Amino acid sequence: MDKLLVHGGATLRGSINISGSKNASLPILAASLLTDEEVIIRRVPDVSDTNYMVQIISALGGEIERSSGTVRIHNKSIVDTAPYDLVRRMRASICVMGPLLARTGRAVVSLPGGCIIGDRPVDLHLRGLEALGATTEFDSGNIIITAPKGGLKGAEINLRGTHGPTVLGTDNVMMAAVFAEGTTVIESAAAEPEVEDLANFLNGLGAKIQGAGTRRITIEGVTSLGSIEHTVIPDRIEAGTFMAAAVIAGEGVTLHRICREQMTAITKIFEDCGHKIIFNEAGDSVTIHRGENPVGAEINTAPYPGYPTDMQAQMTAVFATTPGISVVKDTIFPQRFMHCAEMKRMGADINVDSGTAIIKGVKQLSAAPVMASDLRASAALVLAGLTAKGTTTISRLYHIDRGYEHIDEKLLQLHARVERVKE
Ligand code: EPZ
């Protein structure tokens, strides 16, 4: 296993390219299962989560070629059972369920385990697929879901859960509805840009989807799909993470290949804290200048277009050394505060209570050996190490490698002093 040494005190400067979105790539890779023609998907980030998805599709019978960010997939014929050991390792694999059900009439997918950020139920996914006429049973850790003899039928479905809409649940129902007879309407749909990118991919294949990116999505059933070349949208969470790095330890850092419109909530919090965020005319590059007198802020995570839960850990690292009091409340994953205990080992002043972290900025953190626990918490620890006094050692780096493409190389390109070493 690798670990990352972060030598605090370097000033980040220069520019990097942000990668394609992991969270758009995963459902789009899964959606390739819906067509028997070849698809080409560009800017798929080289991270372990997309590698898992590629392995799953190949285990289902897909022919896949991957060269740097371009994935070429041809699912001429596929089986309906996803490999248990692979699906277990990545919660997002659940999004093969919808396309398998639509393409083959059946899907056998392991129940995703819970994970460190909290319980990860799939009741909303099943509610949506059953509304289309599917029947569900459970056997030795697998979900077995079957379409009726005459195929899935369009329906009006409300996918709202106690914590709001479901991103992958919306994806699964949208993909399953592509071949359903008649019209499907998804109310309380997730409106994330990644859902919209998936709908654009499906429409490019010949699906008839309207309203993606809003709370109400309509799908007219079709009988078959064709082929497409699609480029995945930029990763707004990776971009937000590097914006945080620039604010913590940078001077005029520029990020290329981003999308301003998808980062409104993220950008606003940085500006509320007194930092300067300057986009170019086209909105695909941004330069970040740390404010002279930064102040704390309050974050309440919410479904898109609200503040993303996937950014709250990274902002906690910013608030840890921002003068004043900041508050972070995660209404989507109330247990997603593993990073706080590790940051406190570095001298952060944080109190976590029932889904809310109260952070009092300190002058400087001090380096310590810390442990990565989940993807975004690990990224937050790297950010905290950038200005900590001394060298922070972050173990279990595989958590970061799940979702950040070559994070150490990008940090080195920005003149951070980091080293990836074997544990
Ligand atoms: C997606 O996960 C993202 N992953 C997550 O990013 C992100 O944190 C999450 O959406 C919320 O934005 C991918 O896109 C691959 P949800 P997803 O279903 O779809 C509850 C990262 O760091 N819920 O939108 O699995 C659930 O418990 C990852 O890149 C149900 O109750 O999340 C949560 O409280 C982490 N029943 C809320 O809804 C269900 O059937 C939102 O979850 C499904 C979800």
Q: Could you write out the DSSP letters of every residue in 128-148? A: HHHHTT-EEEEETTEEEEE--
Q: Which of ligand 1's atoms lies nearest the C-alpha of 126?
A: 40
Alpha-carbon span 356 to 335, nearest angstrom = 9
Given 231, 263, 278, which residue is the final one in a domain?
231
Ligand 1 center to 168 CA (angstroms) = 7
Residue nearest to atom 21 of ligand 1 (CA): 310
Reported as half-sphere exposure (CB side, CA atoms, 13 A), residue 325 has a value of: 5
268 and 390 in one domain? yes
pLDDT tens digits, residue range 234-263? 999 999 999 999 999 999 999 999 999 999
Encode 328-363: b = buried (16+ Cβ within 10 Å), e = exposed. bbbbbbbebbbbbebbbbbbbebebeebbbbbbbbe
pLDDT tens digits, residue range 194-226? 999 999 999 999 999 999 999 999 999 999 999
259 and 198 in one domain? no
Report the number of distinct structural domains present in the chain.
2
Mutate to test the pocket of ligand 1, among 53, 93, 97, 167 (most ligand atoms within 8 A of CB): 167
Residue nearest to atom 26 of ligand 1 (CA): 120
Ligand 1 center to 90 CA (angstroms) = 13
Amino acid at 29: L
Q: Which of ligand 1's atoms lies nearest the C-alpha of 304?
A: 12
Q: Which of ligand 1's atoms lies nearest the C-alpha of 309?
A: 8
Ligand 1 center to 190 CA (angstroms) = 10
The answer to whether residues 122 and 111 touch, using CB atoms and an 8 Å cutoff, is yes
48 and 196 in one domain? yes
Alpha-carbon span 114 to 52, nearest angstrom = 18
Mutate to test the pocket of ligand 1, among 47, 332, 337, 404 (most ligand atoms within 8 A of CB): 332
Listed in sequence order, the residues at least 6 apart from 409 whose beta carbon sits closer than 8 Å to its beta carbon are: none
Would you state the pLDDT for residue 113? 63
Q: Concatenated DSSP letters for 178-202? A: TTSBSEEEEES----HHHHHHHHHH
pTM recorded for the entire structure: 0.97
Place of tokens 């919306």: 170
403 and 262 in one domain? yes
Given 213, 231, 249, which residue is the final one in a domain?
231
Query: Which of 371, 308, 310 has its CA nearest to residue 344?
Result: 371
Mutate to test the pocket of ligand 1, among 163, 307, 405 (most ligand atoms within 8 A of CB): 163
Residue 414: give its domain's CATH number.
3.65.10.10
Largest separation between any pair of C-alpha atoms in the chain: 66
Q: Concatenated DSSP letters for 302-354? A: -STTSB-GGGHHHHHHHHHTSSSEEEEE-SS-TT--HHHHHHHHTT-EEEEET
Extract the residue ranges of the chain whose pLDDT is less than 50: none
Would you state the pLDDT for residue 115? 65
209 and 330 in one domain? no
Given 199, 231, 263, which residue is the final one in a domain?
231
Q: Which of ligand 1's atoms lies nearest the C-alpha of 403?
A: 29
Domain boundaries, position 68: 22-231
Residues classed as catalytic: 115
152 and 259 in one domain? no
283 and 219 in one domain? no
pLDDT tens digits, residue range 117-155? 777 789 999 999 999 999 999 998 899 999 999 999 999
288 and 139 in one domain? no
Pocket of ligand 1 (CB under 6 A): 23, 26, 91-92, 120-125, 161, 163, 166-169, 190, 194, 309-310, 332-333, 375-376, 403
Ligand 1 center to 122 CA (angstroms) = 10
Rg of the chain over CA atoms, in angstroms?
21
Listed in sequence order, the residues at least 6 apart from 98 whose beta carbon sits closer than 8 Å to its beta carbon are: 30, 107, 125, 129, 171, 172, 173, 174, 175, 176
81 and 50 in one domain? yes
32 and 11 in one domain? no
Burial of 235 (0-12, 13-18, 19+ CB in 10 A): buried
Structure tokens, 158? 């409300």
366 and 246 in one domain? yes
Ligand 1 center to 303 CA (angstroms) = 10
Would you state the pLDDT for residue 21? 98
- Spatial strand order of the sheet with 135-139 comes to 106-110, 142-146, 135-139
Residue nearest to atom 1 of ligand 1 (CA): 167
265 and 210 in one domain? no
Q: Which of ligand 1's atoms lies nearest the C-alpha of 118?
A: 27
Kind and range of the H or E element at 41?
strand 38-42
Listed in sequence order, the residues at least 6 apart from 281 whose beta carbon sits closer than 8 Å to its beta carbon are: none
Ligand 1 center to 416 CA (angstroms) = 32
Ligand 1 center to 347 CA (angstroms) = 31
Residue nearest to atom 9 of ligand 1 (CA): 167
Q: Which of ligand 1's atoms lies nearest the C-alpha of 124?
A: 40
Ligand 1 center to 166 CA (angstroms) = 6
Mutate to test the pocket of ligand 1, among 160, 168, 236, 376 (most ligand atoms within 8 A of CB): 168
